[in-house]
A and B are shown apart, each in its own frame.
Chain A
Amino acid sequence: MMDKDSQQPFDVLVIGAGPAGMAAAVRAAERGGRVGIVDDNPNCGGQIWRGAEDDHGQEATAWSSRLRNADITKLFGMRVFHQPETGVLLAEGTDDVCELRYTNLVLATGARERFLPFPGWTLPNVMGAGGLQAMVKSGLPVRGKRVVVAGTGPLLLAVAAYLRKQGAEIPIICEQASWSSLARFGVGLLGRPGKITQGLQLKKELAEIPFAANSWPIGAHGGQVLESVTISRGGKTEVIACDFLACGFHLVPNVELQSLLGCQISGGFVQVDEFQQTSVQRVFCAGEPTGIGGVELALVEGQIAGLAAVGEKNAAQKLFGERRESHRFARMLDRAFRLRPELRSLPSAETIVCRCEDVPYSRLQEHRSWRAAKLHSRCGMGPCQGRVCGPATQFLFQWNPDSVRPPVFPARVGSLGRVVSGL
């Protein structure tokens, strides 16, 4: 690998190559900035445009080709884990670590699924909804498999449609939200949340898949691997045999890096000004970390951040109207898919909440804060660093997240040496 350590600072360094990061990098580079973009994945596209060879539609193709053609240093398969000093980030690849210097930084780190514990959720083949979709996009065959899709949020619909297209049988989509809350989203004639399906252009694909609101999984069963799930549907329970359960409860933003850099975070989201600049000068943030709002919002925020980072404020301002529109959609999403309190009683005493350290629900109940629970039970102390159990316990117990310490991802010992010595 080339020696990236000796490089000049980037005018704009973008972390995350999903729609937001791609748009930021492209707009900044097209205005002549020296731009670098880093992503943990082997390709650009983030969550929604995952799978380099799949056809993701015109918009994706257009942004991918602009990214390819612009003069941008692309560092894929590299994960940023630490900032040893202002203006310097460390990123780790499969077998190397590099130091990245920047003048302006755009953090476009996206979101992950929220997982909630229920009995049996640790069985193999119980996966996230986006999680199973990502596996299938990476080559997992699902033709002829029965997949129950459950949880909450528009992602369930996108995933169900995708899996069906890949040949899976979807006996049901269980959406925890009530019909009345989905109605705010506009329930279509077929008793489906119309605006979402339209928005996702999925109406046709979803037409034959049963959709139940007021419905969620209460148990997953099997010996070594999933065999069936029990769902609660409109107050009654039902057992459904299946090969996979694709289950996620909407999205939570990835804000660990922003938090490490000292960016102000409120209500779980990174606070930004009208130019997408965080409370830290020259550090911008775009896409899901500023609020869960989907691909359109990610793209427009990314563009504004990229332009503002190279000082093109007038061009950035022209996009404010478009951003306002997408924000309205984001607020609607938030209201429609709010988690119902009943989900707090899903775990039984023995249900594992922290999957890294196998900490059961009963060992968490006695604690009053996330910090106390971590200290006494090791909850959140494993390699995922609380990325799975943190959002879950926040919902279950209303615990607030802790401050973030480096490295933001577990790094290899060799890489860690550089964290400890501060280089």
Chain B
Amino acid sequence: MHDSLLRAVTLSVNGSPVAVPAGATVAVAVAIAGQPCRRSVSGEPRGPLCGMGICFECRVSINGTPHCRSCQIVCEPGMEVRTDG
């Protein structure tokens, strides 16, 4: 693992603190928190599929902004991430 990934960043996922390596994306933080990213229109739990910004399965709300593609956004300290809409 490279140096930057050894430095941790702490943010919150659904109100609980999660520490991730610096440079990690929000999708990674949600995975480490053990949460799915969203519920599908019929209520299924969903997580990242493409990892590259095209499938929109990794949508979460970040600091109150809904529908953010978490795989394309790097974690910042204190970010508030919600997977429950």
Chain A residues with a Cβ under 8 A of chain B:
40-42, 47, 53-54, 79, 94, 112-113, 115, 122-128, 130-135, 138-141, 224-225, 254, 352, 355-358, 382-384, 387-388, 410
Contact (A131, B46) CB under 8 Å given A54-B2, A140-B28, A355-B57: no
Chain B residues lying within 8 Å of A132, measured Cβ to Cβ, are: 51
* Alpha-carbon gap, A355 to B24, bound state (A): 25
Chain A residues lying within 8 Å of B27, measured Cβ to Cβ, are: 135, 138, 140
Quote the shortest CB–CB distance from A306 to chain B (angstroms): 24
* Alpha-carbon gap, A357 to B23, bound state (A): 32
B52–A124 touching, CB < 8 Å: no
Chain B residues lying within 8 Å of A112, measured Cβ to Cβ, are: 50, 52, 54
A131–B53 touching, CB < 8 Å: no
Which of A47, A131, A133 meets B49, CB within 8 Å?
A131
Chain B residues lying within 8 Å of A123, measured Cβ to Cβ, are: 45
B45–A135 touching, CB < 8 Å: no
Chain A residues lying within 8 Å of B51, measured Cβ to Cβ, are: 127-128, 130-135, 138
Closest residue to B23 on the A side, CB-wise? A139
Closest residue to A382 on the B side, CB-wise? B56
Going nearest first, the 3 A-B pairs with the smallest beta carbon separation are A139-B24, A134-B51, A124-B47
B23–A388 touching, CB < 8 Å: no
Q: A123-B45, A134-B50, A382-B56 are in contact. List 4 more A-B contacts (CB 8 A).
A: A40-B72, A128-B50, A384-B54, A388-B49
Closest residue to A113 on the B side, CB-wise? B50
B2–A384 touching, CB < 8 Å: no
A135–B31 touching, CB < 8 Å: yes
Query: Can you sample 11 A-B contacts with CB below 8 Å?
Result: A41-B72, A53-B23, A127-B49, A131-B52, A135-B25, A135-B27, A139-B5, A139-B21, A140-B27, A352-B44, A388-B54
A53–B53 touching, CB < 8 Å: no
Chain B residues lying within 8 Å of A125, measured Cβ to Cβ, are: 47
A135–B56 touching, CB < 8 Å: no
* Alpha-carbon gap, A356 to B3, bound state (A): 37
> How would you classify the secondary structure of chain B's contact residues: helix, strand, loop or mixed?
loop
Residues of B within 8 Å of A, CB-based: how many? Answer: 38
Contact with A along B19-54 (1 / 0, CB 8 A): 011011101100110001100111011111111111
B31–A383 touching, CB < 8 Å: no
A127–B48 touching, CB < 8 Å: yes
A53–B3 touching, CB < 8 Å: yes
Closest residue to A383 on the B side, CB-wise? B56
B25–A139 touching, CB < 8 Å: yes
Which of A122, A138, A383 meets B71, CB within 8 Å?
A138
Chain A residues lying within 8 Å of B2, measured Cβ to Cβ, are: 53-54
Contact (A124, B45) CB under 8 Å given A138-B23, A138-B24, A140-B28: yes
Closest residue to B41 on the A side, CB-wise? A358
Chain A residues lying within 8 Å of B28, measured Cβ to Cβ, are: 135, 138-140
* Alpha-carbon gap, A79 to B31, bound state (A): 25
Chain A residues lying within 8 Å of B46, measured Cβ to Cβ, are: 122, 124, 355
Quote the shortest CB–CB distance from B58 to chain A (angstroms): 9
Chain A residues lying within 8 Å of B45, measured Cβ to Cβ, are: 123-124, 224-225
* Alpha-carbon gap, A271 to B46, bound state (A): 37
Closest residue to A54 on the B side, CB-wise? B2
Chain B residues lying within 8 Å of A382, measured Cβ to Cβ, are: 56
* Alpha-carbon gap, A113 to B54, bound state (A): 10
Contact (A387, B54) CB under 8 Å given A138-B71, A224-B45, A358-B42: yes
